[in-house]
Structure formats: C-alpha cells, structure tokens
Structure 1
Amino acid sequence: MSKGFLYREIADGIAGQIRSGVLKAGDKLPSVRTLCIEHGISMNTAKRVFWELEAQSLIASKPQSGFFVSRLQRYKLPLAEVSRPSLIANDKEPDELISRVYANIGRNDLTLFSVGIPSGNLLPLAKLKKEILQATRELQQGGAEYEPPQGNIKLRRMVAARSLAWEGDLHEDDLVTTSGGMNALSLCLMALGKPGDTIAIESPCYPGVFQLALSLGLKVIELPTHPVTGITIEGLKKVLHKIDLCLLIPNFNTPLGSCMPDEHKEEVVRLLAERNIPLIEDDIYGDLFFGTQRPRCCKSFDTEGNVLWCSSVSKTLAPGYRVGWIAPGRHKEKLLKLKLVHALSSTSVVHEAVGNFLKTGRYDHHIQQLRRTLQTNYQHYTDAIAAYFPEGTRTSRPQGGLALWIAFDKKIDTRELYDLAIRKHISIAPGRMFTLQNQFENCMRLCIGLPWSDELKFKLKQVGDLAKML
C-alpha cells in the first residue's frame, strides 16, 4: 500500500477505537516516534495520521505532552471546507470593510476578536521596558546613531541561532533587519515584482498582504487552501505558467491556522525553483505552535537561494516595536539597496533590546507560556462555539497561531453580523476581508489571543445569538 493511503488506514483504525469507546476522552495516544516504529512509517507519514485525526476533532495536541483523545470530539463540529477561489488573476481593490474593521484597533471599549495580535496582558511588557533601558546603556551614543544597513548584529546573530530549531542553518550575514513583518514583505515585493506581474497567494489570507500586492501594481491569483494542510499542490501546479511571484504563510497562516506538511513545503520549493519563481515565505506565526516541535520552514528546503524567509516579533512579543527580518537568499543585495532607499537604518535601541531578550532566554520562557495560553484559549473557544453558535457551524483546526476560522450556513452574512456585533461593543473580522473575490461572506475570523474569562465567554455567546438571528 502506498504511503499516501497508509496514513489514512492507520488514522481510520485509531478513529474507530475512539468512536467505539476503546480509547476514551483524555487518553494519551502513542507519540509520533512510537507510531513510526509500530507501523514502519516515516515521521511525516506519522504526523499526517495525527493531522487527519485532528481534522476530525477526534484528538488534540498539548504542548510538550503529546496527543490526547479530544474532550471536544463529542460536539462533532465539522471542519471548514477547502477554499475554491477562481484561478483568474485579480487586481481589484479589497472591500472597504477592511478599513472599517481595522479602524477599531486600540479601542478599549470593544472586545477585539477582529485584531490578530496577542493581548498586552499576555506579553512581558515590564521585562521589555528593562531591556530598552539596558540597550540605551550598551549602545554607542545611547542608540542615537545609525546602525549598519544590514541591521543590529545581536538581533541577526540570535535569529540565525534560532533557525537551527527548524533546520534553517542561517548565518548572521544571511539576514537583513526590517521595521516589522509587513516592511519585510514590502521590501521583498518591491525588489522582485513590477507593476503588472502576477503573484500567487493563499485564499483566504491576511488582508494586508492583498492590499500590499495591489498597492505595488501586482495582480493576484488566490490558491485553493485546505484548512489543515494549507495550499493544495494541484492548485499551485495549475497556475505556475501564469505567475511571477508566490507569497505563502506555510506555518499557521491567518485566518485558517493551517500548517503545510513538510513534503508539501519541499514540493512547493522545488516546483517554484524549477521555474525560477521566487517564494516569499512569511513565517510570522512559526513560533506559536501548539504541539511539541516547531514546524520547519520552506527555507529549510531551499538549496538555490530562491526562498526569501521573513518573520518578526509582532505576533509573539511586541507588535508596536516593529522588529522584523529577512533571509533573502540570492536577492540580498537588492534588498539592502531598497532598505537604504526606504529606511536607511532600523531603530537601533529597539532592535538591540529584542536581540538581548532573545539572547538571555527570556523570549523562550515567554513563548512557552504564550503557546500554552493560546492552545487553552482555542479549546475554550471551541467549547463556546459548540454550545452557542448555530447548528452546522464549521471551524478550522489550527495547530498554532492566533486565528480561528468560522464558517456559518450560507444564509448568514458576516458583514451583517459585524454591524450587529459592533452595537454590542464586539468587533469581529468578516470573511470577505480575507479575499479579493466574492467568497467567504458566511465566514469570519476570531482572534484567540485575548485572555480567557467569563466575560469573554459571554461575548462569544452574544456573537452566537446574533448569528442565530440572521
């Protein structure tokens, strides 16, 4: 039997034991390594077994503990469907809804399910303040001088060291610092694209990516995307002859929270390299994994310098600090020239502070706590959705990140739901924001980065009650 079907056979066997009661809610499953030994399969095939079971809501992962039979499986919340966007290039402006929703950023009178960042209550703000003070003492002239164009050496050195966790094996000279993740993506698109070029992007995807591409005169093709495993390889193959660039968020993309299997990442890198199509990889959520191991990046499969790996601390540590970086591969000189033109230098004090936060191990301690909180939040959200949302509601199965994707019955328009919710001082992100096409009108994204409380549970109930009214 081929490996492609073997993982399903193994998953079906475990699923049968769960449904028959042989394995009960809370029971721990064998580890990935144990499954490999028992069935003579590869690590990737074993992981696909667990992804399949997670997609059916039969199991759940716990950080540093493994996989367990889900206590949520009794709710049988169905999985959101694979997206099926038109594969025709689009260069139309996004819906004005984006501006309305993001105008709510910073409003303390709203429950902001719509903003995909962790709450300040989940961030080590006091420790970061101390790092800023320390950086002003350590830097020449207190950080008032320009730093080298490539960026803060301590930050680049620590990012390079951390790349070993995903088999990136980067060196400090491979990296260029930026003013946050969006600045990294912007520099990549400006360096590699020109007006009229076509770029392939996941569907649904973060609205800012679409807006950025359109602002630079690019046309966008949206790729079919599975809520668990990311873009479909077949969907990408169908448009290879049409595209000049590709931008993906392989690890826990927003709004789905999907994570591409390693074999898919390797195949995507190969397919694009064969046609000399650059891949811009946004790994901004990569550290927010729910399982026991950080996922690999497409960059780890890149042997030709064709992948431009971008990331930042905006979703993990300090959104307002605007600290990001790029490993641009063979395009490094283009990126450095653009940075000189558009920024000249990064903010020395802040980048030094973040570099030191990484060096001292404080970041690792913080991120472990944040991952645990986010996974627990995801479970709380799913409980509330099962209890209070309309029958037939579908959800994604995020394996990390900050987003939970909700799909209602087709008759529910989440733009109307947004208008109703805002009157209750609740802001949601309607699905139409995450595409340039007429799709996802019945969907929405919820941020799971808010501290869980009885009040938050009540707010979710209000959203569910309003959806039932529609």
Structure 2
Amino acid sequence: MPPPAPKPNPQPLYTQVADAVAKLIGDGTLRPGERTPSLRAVCNQHGVSMSTAVQAFVELESRGLVEPRHKSGFFVKQPAPQMRAELPKPPRVPMAGSLGNLHASLFDAVASENVIALGGAVPGADILPTVKLNRMLAEKARHAGARGVAYDLPPGSEVLRRQISKRMARGGAIVAPAEIITTCGATEALMLCLRAVTRPGDVVAVESPTYFGILHVLEALSLRALEIPADPEHGMRLDVLQRVLQKQRVNACIALPAFSNPLGASMPDEAKQRLVAMLKEREIPLIEDDVFGALPFGPKRSRSCKAFDDAGLVLFCSSFSKTLAPGYRVGWVAPGRYYHAVRMAKLTHTLATATLPELAIAGFLAEGGYDHWLRSVRVIYKDNVTQMRRAILAEFPPGTTVTDPKGGFLLWVTMPPKVDALELYDRALAKGISIAPGHMFSPGQRHTNCIRISCGERWSPRIAGAIGTLGMLAKRLAV
C-alpha cells in the first residue's frame, strides 16, 4: 500500500511563510539590523505569489520582528532592551553519559561574551599578536596565488616544517622536516597518533588528572584509559607506571611532560629519559603532548621526551594554539616509526591542513619575532599565574591548595572534600563565570573537589572579582 498522504497544514500560506522567516530571526541567522530576504526571493524560495509574500511580511511586522525602510525593503527589528534575550547557559551534564557532553558544555561557556571564561585553556585575545599575524596572513594571501587555495596535502607546508624542525632542536629533538606532519591543532595530532598505534579496546596509560580532550579522544576511538597518578610538581608517577607495566598489557602511553594540563607539572629531564627507556623495553609507543612546552617561566625550555628517543617510539605532538593563534588550528606531529600510519590517518581524517594559516605562522617564525614574542608572553603568563594563585588562596575556603607551576597558564585547585566541583560549576555559571570541574579530568571521576582555572587572560579587576565570587560560592559549599 502507498504511504498515507501528509496532512495539510491548517495555517494560511502567508502565516507559514511568516513562521519560516521568524524562525531564521529566532535562531539568529538573521540578526537585528540585517536586511531580510527580498519579497521576490521569498516568492522563489517558498513558491508563493507576491501578494502572499507581502501578507507574510505584514504579519512579521505585526509581531514586532521586522520593520520596513523606504525603498530598502524589510529589516530585522532591534528588540527593546527589556526584551533582549540572554544567551543560553550550558546545562549541567551528568558524567555518567558521554564525556564529550560536558566538554562541549564548557566550550559553549568559553564562547559566550556574557561569561568570564576561566574554564577553557585559551589565551586571551588581547595577549596574542593578532595584528601582526593578520598582516602576515594578508601578505601570504596576496603572494600565494593558486597555492593559497590549494590542498596542502600531508606532510603539509615545507616552509613551516623547516621552522618546526628548528624549534624542536631547542628541546633536544633532532627531527628532519621530512619527518614532521602538520595537523589541524594538537588534538588532531593526538587522534592521528592513537589511530596509528592502537585498535578499539586497547589500553592506553594516561596521567590522572589529565586533559579532558585526551579522554574525549579515547572515548571516541573506543579505547580504555588506564589512570596513572600524577604528582603536581613532576607529573606522571613513574614508579606506579613501572608496577602497572609488570602486571598488565598496555598498548600505548600518553604523557604531558611540560607544564601538564591540568596540573602544570614539569617532568625532570632524567625522568623523561627513564620514561622513554621504560616504554622502549616493552615496545610501547609514547605519545608526547607538548602544547605548553614553549612557555616556561625560566629563560629556556627543558628537553622533550623525543630528545631521548632512539627507537622511533615517541610520537611528539604540539601546536601554536597556546602561543600564537588558537583559531588558526595549526599543529604538528613527529611520529617516528609510525610516520606512514599517521600520514594515512591524516588523509582519511581531514585530508589537509589549512594552507594560509600554515604560511602565516611560518612567516612569523622565519622573521625572528617569535622568540621575542615568547619572552614577552611568558612574563605576562607568569604574572597572571602569580596574581591568580595569590587571590585563590586568599578568597577560597581554608584548606584549599593550589599548584605552583613553572610554566604555562593553568592552575589546579583542590578544595575541601565537601565542595562538589560540579555544583560549584553550576553556581558559578549562574553568576557568569565558567570553570572546569575536576570530574572532567578523570574517567573514574577521582577529582570531585578540584577545579582547573585558566590564567590565559590578563589579570584585571574583572578577573579579581570573579575569583572573589568563586571563593564565596566555594565557602558556602564547604560548610
């Protein structure tokens, strides 16, 4: 039997057209002050007569959604101040569901102009060299010609890879440009590496707490996270990892040796060498996440794990998101013996990295301004961390502890046991402040009275006020 015919819409045709345009306005596709589609365009889109289109806009005008302008058409009406809708607030998402839900909720808050974003590990826009980068991007666009709009297939921009090779040498890793693949940020680099060295169901050793983005990737790839406790000062506990490796099979390990996320821990060089040797003995690949490695508060960066790799088992991942431009989404991976597997994974994942951002960053590095920029931004981040840490210890309930990182711009705050970080997250968001609850940094939800605070924005009275509010809310939860 043929399917039943759809029931006719009981509303008049002009009302249906008006509702369609109203939805565009309600969804924000058409913003206040913008011109609406013309009457002729509405006729063509909806297959209606001109008289029906006119009736639809009369209806929209009666609803207070549009206003006519002489010889210019209809425009979306500016709402009255008291009717201005607030941006939706990210809901509390139970951790029993997908980790990615809370991950997305956090970044919804970061993107909101109405929220003081202390939750995302994102540099403040006023700190970044935006003007110089934009000029560089425009210059590269003018001179790139057809190359600027072509796919930059993996391994990616050669000029950028040469610059990256020089930067990696400063951390002791001698990696040729031909051994590097550019990526769409460090998160893609991590995913490509995991796809290259694991299969669904494999066990991956991770620090605890660790960056929730890593846990999200593991979840997406159906991998099992094995939590290894991390020391707030020195990172992953290698004594615990050693005992674990003696008892069970581990297919890969992910470490953040330089100013880890969220602890800000810095693994000593001798411990990095020991970690590489320990995993080499068992032929276990090490994925090294080094996104904060270029941001020590001291005069120079420490050596990377990749510097101690003589077997090609270390897959080094990093990006320029924490130092230059998060939105450019330019990262890289030096995958060692897994080069071909990572390259194929890149081809099937995003195919290529955006060409013009690669060229702009390569130009910024080649001109010699990057080192000067890093020296200045390290001072800013160090000051931010110092001010934020002092304020948290003064404003939060007694018994609160705060990490003391030597680089990066993240703080890990451990509050009294009664303080539920998710409850604090909810209450803070209601006050227009976003934080990252500790639940996000462990698949076993081991850090329920902890939060991560980003110091990526310049210290200001606005930030100080937010810390005061967080402290007040935490004190109420602590009793």
| TM-score after normalising by structure 1 | 0.79
For 1:302 and 1:260, locate their aligned partners in 2 and report how far apart those are by CA, in whole Å: 16
Amino acid at match of 2:111: G
SS at match of 2:170: helix
SS in 1 for 2:388: helix
- Structure 2 residue ranges without an equivalent (≥5): 1-95
Alpha carbons of 1:158 and 1:177: their partners in 2 closer, same or farther (altered >3 Å)?
same
Partner of 2:351: 344
Residue in 2 that maps onto 1:228 = 233
Please provide the CA RMSD for this pair: 1.5
Tell me, in whole angstroms, the C-alpha distance in 1 between the residues paired with 2:237 and 2:390.
29
User: Do residues 397 (structure 1) and 404 (structure 2) align?
Assistant: yes
Among 113, 117, 140, which residue is 1:112 paired with?
117
Which residue is 1:203 aligned to?
Answer: 208
- The residue matched to 1:247 in structure 2 has which SS? strand
Is 1:129 aligned with 2:134?
Answer: yes
Letter in 1 for 2:208: S
Whether contact under 8 Å (1:95, 1:432) holds in the other structure is no
2: CA distance, partners of 1:95 / 1:176: 26
Counterpart of 2:234 in structure 1: which amino acid? T
The question of 1:279 aligning with 2:286 is answered yes
Indicate if the aligned counterparts of 1:180 and 1:324 stay in contact, CA closer than 8 A.
yes
CA spacing shift, 1:111–1:157, aligned 2, 3 Å: same
Note the alpha carbon deviations across 1:24-73, whole angstroms, 9 max, x for none. xxxxxxxxxxxxxxxxxxxxxxxxxxxxxxxxxxxxxxxxxxxxxxxxxx
State the alpha-carbon separation in 1 of the partners of residues 213 and 389 from structure 2. 27
Higher-Rg structure is 2
1:179 and 2:184 matched: yes
2:221 to 204, 211, 216: 216
Contact kept in structure 1, 2:438 and 2:445, CA below 8 Å: no
Structure 1's 422 and 214: CA in aligned 2 closer, same or farther, altered over 3 A?
same
- One-letter amino acid matched to 2:138: L
Structure-2 change in CA distance of 1:97 and 1:350 (3 Å)? closer
> Which of 361-370 and 119-128 deviates more?
361-370
Aligned residue number for residue 105 of structure 2: 100
Shift in Å at residue 102 of structure 1?
2.4
- Normalising by structure 2, we get a TM-score of 0.77
Distance 1:156 1:438 in 2: 39
> What per-residue deviation string (whole Å, max 9, x for no partner) do you get for residues 190-232 of structure 1?
1111011000011111111001011111111011100000011
Tell me the CA shift for residue 415 of structure 1. Answer: 1.0
Give the Cα separation in 2 of the matches to 1:438 and 1:429: 13
- 5 Å-filtered alignment, 1:320-335, equals 320-335=327-342
Pairwise CA distance, 1:95? 7.9
Stretches of structure 1 lacking an aligned partner (at least 5 in a row)? 1-90
Alignment CA distance shift 1:98-1:151 (3 Å): closer
Q: Distance in 2 between matches of 1:386 and 1:277?
A: 41
Q: In 1, distance between residues paired with 2:341 and 2:169?
A: 26
Matching residue of 2:380:
373
For the residue of structure 2 that corresponds to 1:251, the secondary structure is coil
**Alignment partners' CA distance in 2, 1:422 and 1:172:** 45
Residue aligning to 1:237: 242
Which residue in the other structure is 2:256 paired with? 249
Q: Which has the higher contact order (CA 8 A, sep 6+)?
A: 1
**Per-residue deviation, 1:421:** 1.0
Paired position in structure 2 for 1:469: 476
Separation in structure 2 between the aligned mates of residue 147 and residue 99 of structure 1, nearest angstrom? 29
**Counterpart-to-counterpart distance in 2, 1:424 and 1:210:** 28
SS of alignment partner, residue 105 of structure 1: helix
Mapping of residues 414-429 of structure 1, within 5 Å: 414-429=421-436
